[in-house]
C-alpha cells in the first residue's frame, strides 16, 4: 500500500527539538530509546545539558543515562498484551512514511474486541492506545459503499486530504470486475490541534525518530555542508585564476 509522505528533514533542527519534546511527553512513558543517551541527543540537537535535564528528562535520571522508560516490561505485558517495543531503530525498520502514516491513522473502532476502542489503518489490531488523541481529536472511519456482492478487496493507497486521510481500496465484485472504493477518516471530535498542525507535530516526532535511528546522519549533514562550502570556494578561486591567466592571451 502506498503510504503518506512524511517529508522528514534532518537539517531542520527546530523540528527535531519539537519532536524530542513531543516524544518525551507522549511516548517515553511506554517506549524507551535504549541506543540513545540524553546528553548525546542534547549535543546533536543543540541543547545544553541543563536544558535537557530540565525539559526532557522526566525519569529522574542523569544526563548521561540511556533513554529508558520507567514502565516495567511485566506490567506493560499485562496492560497491553504486548510490551511496547524499544523505538531506537524503528525508523529504519519501518521507514519514516510508515511511522507517519501510523501516527495519523488511529480511528475509533467500536468492536468490543479492541481493548482501547481504537484501531489503525496501517497496523490492524494494534495494541497501542491512541496516545495523541488530545492533540488530534478522535477520528472515525466512514466506509465507502461497496458494490453489491463485493468480495475480495485490498487497500492500495493512503491519501492526505484537508479533512483527514482517505484510504483507497480495490474491490472485486462477484463477476471479478474491479472498482475503486474510498474509505475516509474524519475527525469527529476535535483535539487541541487542527488537521494541519497535528500533521506537523506527527512529522516532528517522525523526524526525531529518524534522527535517533541513525544519529551519524546528522554529523554527515554537517560535514557535508563544509565539504560543499570548501568546494564552492575553490570553484570561485579557480575561476578567478583562470580569468587572470588568460587575460593577456586573447
Ligand atoms: C500507553 C503506552 C504507550 C504509549 C504512551 C505509546 N505507545 Fe507506542 N506502543 C505501545 C504498545 C503496547 C505497542 C505494541 C503494539 C502491538 O504490537 O500491538 C506500541 C507500538 C508502537 C509502534 C509499533 C512498533 C512496531 O511493532 O513496529 C510504534 C511505531 C509506536 N508504538 C510509536 C509510539 C509513539 C511515536 C508514541 C508517542 C507519540 C507512542 N508509541 C506512545 C504502547 C504505547
In this prediction, the residues of the chain whose per-residue pLDDT falls under 50 are: none
Cα–Cα distance, 21 to 56 (Å, whole number): 6
Q: Count CB neighbours of 179 within 10 A.
A: 13
Give the Å distance between the CA of 123 and the centre of ligand 1: 11
Query: CB of 206 closer than 6 A to ligand 1?
Result: no
> Do the Cβ atoms of 48 and 55 come closer than 8 Å?
no
205 CB near ligand 1 (under 6 Å): yes
Does ligand 1 come within 6 angstroms of the Cβ of 31? Answer: yes
- What is the pLDDT, as a whole number, of residue 23? 97
Residue 225 pLDDT = 86
Distance of CA 140 to the CA centre of its chain: 21
96 CA to middle of ligand 1, Å? 15
Q: Using the structure block, give the residue that is written with the C-alpha cell 516495567.
A: 72
Q: What is the Cα–Cα distance from 106 to 182, expressed in whole angstroms?
A: 17
Q: Nine-digit cell at 19? A: 519532536
Distance (angstroms) between ligand 1 centre and the Cα of 213 equals 16
30 close to ligand 1 (CB < 6 Angstrom): yes
Cα 19 from Cα 163, distance rounded (Å): 23
112 alpha carbon – ligand 1 mean position (Å): 20
In angstroms, the CA 166 to CA 169 distance is 10
Compute, in angstroms, the gap from residue 87 CA to the centroid of ligand 1: 8
CA-nearest residue for atom 25, ligand 1, is 85
Alpha-carbon distances of 52 from 20, 41, 67, 213, rounded to whole Å: 10, 9, 12, 19
Say yes or no: CB of residue 122 within 6 Å of ligand 1. Answer: no
Dihedral over alpha carbons 58, 63, 64, 68 (to 10 degrees): 10
Q: Write down the pLDDT at residue 250.
A: 67
Closest atom, ligand 1, to C-alpha of 205? 35
C-alpha of residue 31 to centroid of ligand 1, in Å: 7
d(CA 76, CA 71): 7
- C-alpha 181/C-alpha 144 separation (Å) is 6
The pLDDT value recorded for residue 27 is: 97
Residue 249 pLDDT: 81
The pLDDT score that the predictor gives to residue 216 is 86
Q: How far is 221 from 206, CA to CA, in rounded Å?
A: 18
Amino acid at each position: 500500500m502506498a503510504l503518506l509522505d512524511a517529508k522528514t528533514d534532518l537539517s531542520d533542527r527546530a523540528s527535531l527539538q519539537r519532536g524530542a519534546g513531543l516524544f518525551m511527553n507522549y511516548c517515553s512513558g511506554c517506549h524507551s530509546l535504549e541506543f540513545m543517551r540524553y546528553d548525546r541527543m542534547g549535543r546533536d540537537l543543540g541543547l545544553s545539558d541543563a536544558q535537557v535535564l530540565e525539559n526532557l528528562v522526566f525519569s529522574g535520571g542523569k544526563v548521561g543515562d540511556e533513554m529508558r522508560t520507567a514502565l516495567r516490561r511485566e506490567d506493560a505485558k499485562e496492560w497491553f498484551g504486548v510490551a511496547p517495543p524499544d523505538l531506537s531503530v524503528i525508523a529504519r525498520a519501518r521507514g519514516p512514511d510508515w511511522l507517519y502514516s501510523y501516527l495519523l491513522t488511529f480511528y475509533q473502532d467500536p468492536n468490543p474486541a479492541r481493548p482501547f476502542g481504537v484501531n489503525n489503518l496501517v497496523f490492524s489490531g494494534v495494541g497501542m492506545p491512541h496516545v495523541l488523541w488530545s492533540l488530534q481529536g478522535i477520528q472515525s472511519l466512514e466506509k465507502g459503499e461497496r458494490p453489491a456482492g463485493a468480495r475480495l478487496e485490498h487497500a492500495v493507497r493512503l491519501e492526505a486530504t484537508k479533512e483527514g486521510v482517505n484510504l483507497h481500496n480495490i474491490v472485486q465484485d462477484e463477476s471479478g470486475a474491479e472498482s475503486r472504493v474510498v474509505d475516509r477518516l474524519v475527525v469527529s471530535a476535535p483535539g487541541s490541534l487542527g488537521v494541519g498542525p497535528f500533521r506537523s507535530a506527527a512529522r516532528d516526532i517522525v523526524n526525531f525518530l529518524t534522527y535517533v535511528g541513525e544519529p551519524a546522519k546528522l554529523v554527515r549533514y554537517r560535514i557535508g555542508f563544509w565539504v560543499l562550502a570548501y568546494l564552492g570556494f575553490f570553484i570561485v578561486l579557480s575561476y578567478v585564476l583562470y580569468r587572470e591567466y588568460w587575460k593577456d592571451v586573447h
